[in-house]
Amino acid sequence: MATVRLHRIGKKYGGLEVIKDLDLVVEHGEFVTLVGPSGCGKTTTLRMIAGLEEITSGELYIDNYPANQIPPKDRGISMVFQSYALFPHMSVSENIAFGLKIKKYPRSDILEKIDWALSLLNLEGLATRLPKDLSGGQRQRVALARALVVEPQVLLLDEPLSNLDAKLRLKMRAELKRLHKKLGSTVIYVTHDQVEAMSLSDRVAIMHEGRLAQVGAPLAVYNSPHNIFVAGFVGSPSMNFFNGRLVRKDESLVIDLETFQLVLPERYRSKCTGCLGRKVILGIRPEHIYDKRLSKTESYLGNTTDVVIDVVEPLGDRDIVEVKKEKICFTALLEPETNAAPDQPMTVVFDMTKCHIFDMESENNIIHSP
């Protein structure tokens, strides 16, 4: 196990700068996920840590040693590729033993480690099978076994679950979490799936256009996104955004959305007064918009508006309801008891204590600034 430290890491392909000044520290035994939309540079970053991609600028430290020039095999890392990259002509146990044989482990040790890996990942009985005779989930576990058996200081995982079907993905997600708890290894995980990132990691590092948009614990990132990108990226269904203007009305601060107005809670006043009169973007998650008839909390009552239901997507425990208010469309996550039906009118309540306000120019969060 080791720490991994990225200091002002940059990557250029010719004139194209794909990673800019990346600073990140992954602590001993920590599970950190690099997450972002495709093309944000997360896989490139992982490949730089692995040594498969040259680092254009900045320094990489693994276990406090400068690692920029160290070849991949000497970095003490293991990597599981998105494609699993199993050697097709080798059996499961030969695949697992590959790294050990190269490192010239004694035969008895190799056999012992194969057994350990097979039982750790529930692959007993599959040792002699070829990859083509395995299911997707089994292949994935073989790839994981092959990576773990060499006892890496750092385990790098590149979208390891993305080729599995939805149900198996959930199962393997839990499996990965259990495995990390058991082995306590340092893990750097790459995914484009924010739910996966949130559910697995100690900390998530959200990347956007080659930069780190925010790093933090999953809940911290969810509750206080530093900018619009993070706010929109984290959470499903994603956050609603409304263009508005911050104005004073009587004693309180109000966001004027033209078609309706929403009152900000008292405690945001100090942070927002500086932006008075400015154009802002209001962000509120679908789960913080309620049906007025079912809402028990009186304190929201000032912030209601009448809408027309557009589309209803029932999930069973919740309904994703898209509603319209004149030209404005937004999404609410409502309880099934609402009995929402298309084209029905209803009144929704905004829980403004959970809202976010972003500066329109800088796109930074005014309430939860870094």
Partner 1 sequence: MKQKGRTKINAGRLIWFIGMVLMILMVLAPIFVMFKYSISDRASVVTGGMPIPLWPYHPTTEQFRGLAAMDAFVKSALTSMEAALLAVIVSLAIGTPAAYALVRYRFPGMMVLATLLISVRLFPDIVSVVPIVETFTKVNLLNSVWGVGLAHSLLSMPYVIFIAMGVFETIPKDLDEQAQILGASKLYSFVRIILPVALPGLAAAAIYVFLLSWDEFIFAYFLLAFGNLSTLPVLLQKILSWTPQHNLLAAVSVMLSIPVIIFTFIVQKYMQAGATAGAVK
Binding site for partner 1 (CB under 8 A): 50-52, 72-73, 77-79, 81, 83-89, 98-99, 102-103, 130-134, 136, 139, 146, 150, 163
Report the b/e string of 185-219 with b at 16+ CB within 10 A.
Answer: bbbbbbbbbbebbbebbebbbbbbebebbbbbebe
Angstrom distance (rounded) from CA 109 to CA 107: 5
H helix or E strand, kind and range, residue 307: strand 304-314
Backbone angles phi, psi at 183, to 5 degrees: -95, -25
Measured from the CB atom, the residue of 102 and 341 that comes closer to partner 1 is 102
Measured from the CB atom, the residue of 19 and 46 that comes closer to partner 1 is 46
Angstrom distance (rounded) from CA 345 to CA 342: 9
Measured from the CB atom, the residue of 133 and 326 that comes closer to partner 1 is 133
Closest CB 185 distance from partner 1, rounded Å: 15
User: How many whole angstroms from its chain centre is CA 152?
Assistant: 24
Give the tokens for residue 250: 């009587």
Measured from the CB atom, the residue of 140 and 331 that comes closer to partner 1 is 140
Closest CB 136 distance from partner 1, rounded Å: 7
Tell me if 260 sits within 8 A of 329, measured CB to CB: no
Helix (H, G, I), strand (E, B) or coil at 155: strand
Closest CB 186 distance from partner 1, rounded Å: 16
Closest CB 359 distance from partner 1, rounded Å: 43
Closest CB 32 distance from partner 1, rounded Å: 19
Measured from the CB atom, the residue of 5 and 139 that comes closer to partner 1 is 139
Angstrom distance (rounded) from CA 328 to CA 150: 56
Report the b/e string of 308-327 with b at 16+ CB within 10 A.
Answer: ebeebeeeeebbbbbbebee
Measured from the CB atom, the residue of 127 and 275 that comes closer to partner 1 is 127
CA nearest to 215, candidates 226, 204, 207: 204
Closest CB 133 distance from partner 1, rounded Å: 7
Measured from the CB atom, the residue of 149 and 246 that comes closer to partner 1 is 149
Closest CB 286 distance from partner 1, rounded Å: 34
